[in-house]
Amino acid sequence: MMIPDTLWVKSSYSGMENACVEWAPIHAATNGTVPVRDSKDPHGPALAFTTSAWSAFLAGVKADEFGV
């Protein structure tokens, strides 16, 4: 999935490194899918998740379900 001209954000915990996951919240709010990409390759493809799948993933991260 290529998404031109959108605002990409990453976690404030990432610092200034370029080895992060970015997502596009404005696209998610207007299109119902959450695009996620590798910050090292900003012109590369993005994965698209449904908003419900993304919400479930974030809830799992917050609940430490993945042991990371």
pLDDT digits (tens, 9 = 90+) for 4-20: 678 889 877 777 767 78
Domain membership flag for residue 67 = no
pLDDT band at 1 (very low <50, low <70, confident <90, very high): low
- CA 33 to centroid of chain Cα atoms: 10
**DSSP 3-state assignment of 57?**
helix
Give the number of domains in the chain: 1
Q: Which domain holds residue 24?
A: 9-62
Domain membership flag for residue 14 = yes
Domain membership flag for residue 1 = no
The structure's pTM equals 0.76
Residue type, 6: T
* Rounded distance between C-alpha atoms, residue 63 and residue 56, angstroms: 10
* Per-residue model confidence (pLDDT) at position 62: 92
Within 13 A of 51's CA, how many CA atoms are on the CB side?
10
Domain membership flag for residue 3 = no
pLDDT at 64 over 90: yes
